Structure 1
Amino acid sequence: MFPVNLSEVSEFRLLGFSEVSNLHPLLFVVFFSLYILTLMANTVIALIINGDNTLHTPMYFFLSQLSFLDICYLSVIVPKILENLIVGTIGISKEGCATQMFFFLFFGVAECFLLAAMSFDRYVAICYPLHYTIIMNSRVYKSLVAGIYICGTVVGLMHTITTFSLPFCGLAINHFFCEIQPLLELLCGNTSPNEIQVIMLAVPVIVSPFLLIIYSYIRIIVTILKTSSAESQQKAFSTCSSHLLVVTLFYGTASFMYLRPKSSYSASVDKLLSLSYTVVTPLLNPLIYSLRNEEMKGALRKRWRKIICVKIKWTISTVSGDFIGIFHCICSVKRASK
């Protein structure tokens, strides 16, 4: 059958994981569990950073932004995956598909640049410690974050407007969300200009931040080798290797998706790759960047002790019928916070 021009299409069909329909119940449990776990981890990190004055520094400001981006990034994708696993092939309006594509690109591009900003922050802190407060003042790091969101908006709008202004010759998206590559498969006629546009935008968005991260970590490692003890070097190398692992996973899979022509597109492979940076990376980020951090763990333990203290004293005061326990607890919490 010849393809029909569907430029007036009002709805697409997301095929999702239709090729493994027998595994849908298992996949639903796995994705739902990962989703809840990731939301909880990133929410806890954001709340702890915002609630602890000792963590109001550029590094933790970036970490709180990373947690926010991961929550939003994941929430753009996973609800549709869960719906697909329950219902099977699902419909999504053209407007809904365009909206999902825009926010996916917006949060994804913002995270690319945010990871680079975080590595630059560590580079300045370790290589130029005496000038750190001057270089990374509040105006600078807040401007960096504002620029990150502006870049995400521009890239998201460019890709979304360009893609959805063209005629489609198909309705079935062989993916679990509206991503660029499977949508290019549905466009009518020659899509080479669109492929070139995707690649040309992907180079500064993916490659440039990745090179900045690599350069920053090389300088960090060189500085650590010159100045630190063997124990400190081992600890620093462990942290750097963990960060680089997450960065490589995120940028590597994204590069493979967007720095290649449509002719090499494989639906099954690309679904697996998409899962790595849409589901796995947001789960790893809080574990690697935050929960392995000693200051972060200290703030978490302090907050947990406060909660336990309040609960115990409240229970005691309720049972005894007086509020002496609460008074002592409030005093101890104030002393702990000083």
Structure 2
Amino acid sequence: MDEVNWTSISEFVFSDVSDQQDLQLLIFAGLLATYLVNIVGNSMLFVLMWANPQLRTPMYFLLSQLALVDMGTVSAILPQALVHMLTQHRAISFTSCMVQLFIWLSMGNMGSYLLAAMAYDRYVAVCNPLRYATVVTWSLCLKMVAGSWVVVLLHALLDTVMAARLRYCGNRLQLFFCDLPPLLLLSCARPITIEMVIFTEGVLVMLTPIAFIVASYVRIGVAVARLRSAQGLRKALVTCGSHLTVLILFYSTATSPYIYPDSSDTKEKDRVAAVFYTAVAPALNPLIYSLRNKDVAAALRRTGRKILAWGQ
């Protein structure tokens, strides 16, 4: 396409969260409730990790970081989506869109890397329980988290800069927040170098934690298969249960848009899937860990009793 046909874009216009206009008020109430559950639940989980000495361990440090990432993910997207639903003004400036894209890419990929670090923690807990304290140390967890942040921030910065350098022929995004795929669909032409870098580097960044998670759970599966006692099997399931639940929830919702075949209702399905992986899944994580984890549940009861004692 000739450069004269390129349009200078100063703002983007989001799609509605759903095409069901008669359900907009109900959808707004549901998203608002989900956002509040996310912020309250993850804040409470983060405070519990640092307020209770029993939970000041490397595993719960990783969990506290996941709580922060979940709050950052939903806060980068939902508040603006809720305002747009109320005002019916769905425009966002070009700069704000790029900022949102950077935060979304950073937080989304960081969640995946934290789940990979937690998978390694669970692998050591199941396969080398006697060496757990010497292998999974605070130093190791800090290095894994710091290294992950460096990788995801550089990845997000690179993709955001490349998205900002594209020329766009339209400004109506087929999503309710700024993400790379709908932005690429609006570009008039994508230089082969930008396309290759986004694809190869993006696939590498996204597949690395997945490969790490799969390798960890293959080793865990082999170790569990060798267990001869029902008690040992139950202990392994308890050790990995919450993490497995979060993994399934995270990846099933995040990858679902790519499973659907191309059809007339694909865009609606993509938006529904986006609600789940940007809002619902992060809100469920603290519930999963607090309800299924005895240590977190015990810490919650202790904190509750302290609050009640202070109030009397």
TM-score where L is the length of structure 2: 0.89
Superposition pairs of residues 10-159 of structure 1, within 5 angstroms: 10-17=10-17, 19-159=19-159
Write the distance in 2 (CA, Å) between the matches of 1:242 and 1:133: 20
Q: Deviation of residue 195 (structure 1)?
A: 4.8
Q: Deviation of residue 197 (structure 1)?
A: 3.7
Superposition pairs of residues 187-198 of structure 1, within 5 angstroms: 187-190=187-190, 194-198=194-198
Q: Deviation of residue 222 (structure 1)?
A: 3.3
Write the distance in 2 (CA, Å) between the matches of 1:15 and 1:78: 14
Report the counterpart of residue 5 of structure 1 in structure 2: 6
Q: Deviation of residue 57 (structure 1)?
A: 0.7
- 79 and 245 in structure 1: CA distance in 2 versus 1, 3 angstrom threshold: same
SS in 1 for 2:187: coil
Query: Counterpart of 1:248 in structure 2: which amino acid?
Result: I
- Percent sequence identity is 36
C-alpha contact 2:106 2:152 (8 A) present in aligned 1: yes
Superposition pairs of residues 182-261 of structure 1, within 5 angstroms: 182-190=182-190, 194-227=194-227, 229-234=229-234, 236-237=236-237, 240=240, 242-255=242-255
- 154 and 114 in structure 1: CA distance in 2 versus 1, 3 angstrom threshold: same
Write the distance in 2 (CA, Å) between the matches of 1:256 and 1:37: 23
Bigger Cα Rg: 1
- 199 and 287 in structure 1: CA distance in 2 versus 1, 3 angstrom threshold: farther
Q: Deviation of residue 252 (structure 1)?
A: 4.0
**Which runs of 5 or more residues in structure 2 are unaligned?**
none
Q: Deviation of residue 188 (structure 1)?
A: 0.7
C-alpha contact 2:116 2:209 (8 A) present in aligned 1: yes
C-alpha contact 2:122 2:239 (8 A) present in aligned 1: no
- 256 and 37 in structure 1: CA distance in 2 versus 1, 3 angstrom threshold: closer
Q: Deviation of residue 288 (structure 1)?
A: 2.2
Report the counterpart of residue 334 of structure 1 in structure 2: none
- 95 and 265 in structure 1: CA distance in 2 versus 1, 3 angstrom threshold: farther
Q: Does 1:283 align with 2:283?
A: yes
Q: Deviation of residue 75 (structure 1)?
A: 0.3
C-alpha contact 2:15 2:172 (8 A) present in aligned 1: yes
- Residue-by-residue CA offset, 1:176-222 (whole Å, 9 max, x unaligned): 00011111111012466555444323322332212221222232243
TM-score where L is the length of structure 1: 0.83
SS in 2 for 1:213: helix
C-alpha contact 1:102 1:156 (8 A) present in aligned 2: yes
SS in 1 for 2:188: coil
- Residue-by-residue CA offset, 1:249-308 (whole Å, 9 max, x unaligned): 323443455799x99994222212212211121022112234311111111111111111
- 192 and 284 in structure 1: CA distance in 2 versus 1, 3 angstrom threshold: farther
C-alpha contact 1:210 1:251 (8 A) present in aligned 2: no
- 297 and 185 in structure 1: CA distance in 2 versus 1, 3 angstrom threshold: same
C-alpha contact 2:48 2:299 (8 A) present in aligned 1: yes
Q: Bigger CA drift: 273-282 or 38-47?
A: 273-282
- 4 and 249 in structure 1: CA distance in 2 versus 1, 3 angstrom threshold: farther
- 205 and 285 in structure 1: CA distance in 2 versus 1, 3 angstrom threshold: farther
Write the distance in 1 (CA, Å) between the matches of 2:170 and 2:194: 17
Q: Deviation of residue 53 (structure 1)?
A: 1.2
**Which runs of 5 or more residues in structure 1 are unaligned?**
313-338
SS in 2 for 1:92: strand
- The alignment of Structure 1 onto Structure 2 pairs a total of residues equal to 310
Higher-RCO chain (CA-CA 8 Å, sequence separation at least 6): 2
SS in 2 for 1:188: strand
Query: Counterpart of 2:6 in structure 1: which amino acid?
Result: N
Q: Deviation of residue 4 (structure 1)?
A: 4.2
Write the distance in 2 (CA, Å) between the matches of 1:174 and 1:285: 28
Report the counterpart of residue 163 of structure 2 in structure 1: 163
Q: Bigger CA drift: 122-131 or 62-71?
A: 122-131
C-alpha contact 2:18 2:272 (8 A) present in aligned 1: no
Write the distance in 2 (CA, Å) between the matches of 1:287 and 1:195: 39
- 128 and 45 in structure 1: CA distance in 2 versus 1, 3 angstrom threshold: same
C-alpha contact 1:101 1:179 (8 A) present in aligned 2: yes
C-alpha contact 2:97 2:178 (8 A) present in aligned 1: yes
Query: Counterpart of 1:206 in structure 2: which amino acid?
Result: M
Query: Counterpart of 1:274 in structure 2: which amino acid?
Result: A
Divergent runs of 4+, >6 A: 262-265
Considering only aligned residues, what root-mean-square deviation do their CA atoms show, in Å? 2.8
- 131 and 234 in structure 1: CA distance in 2 versus 1, 3 angstrom threshold: closer
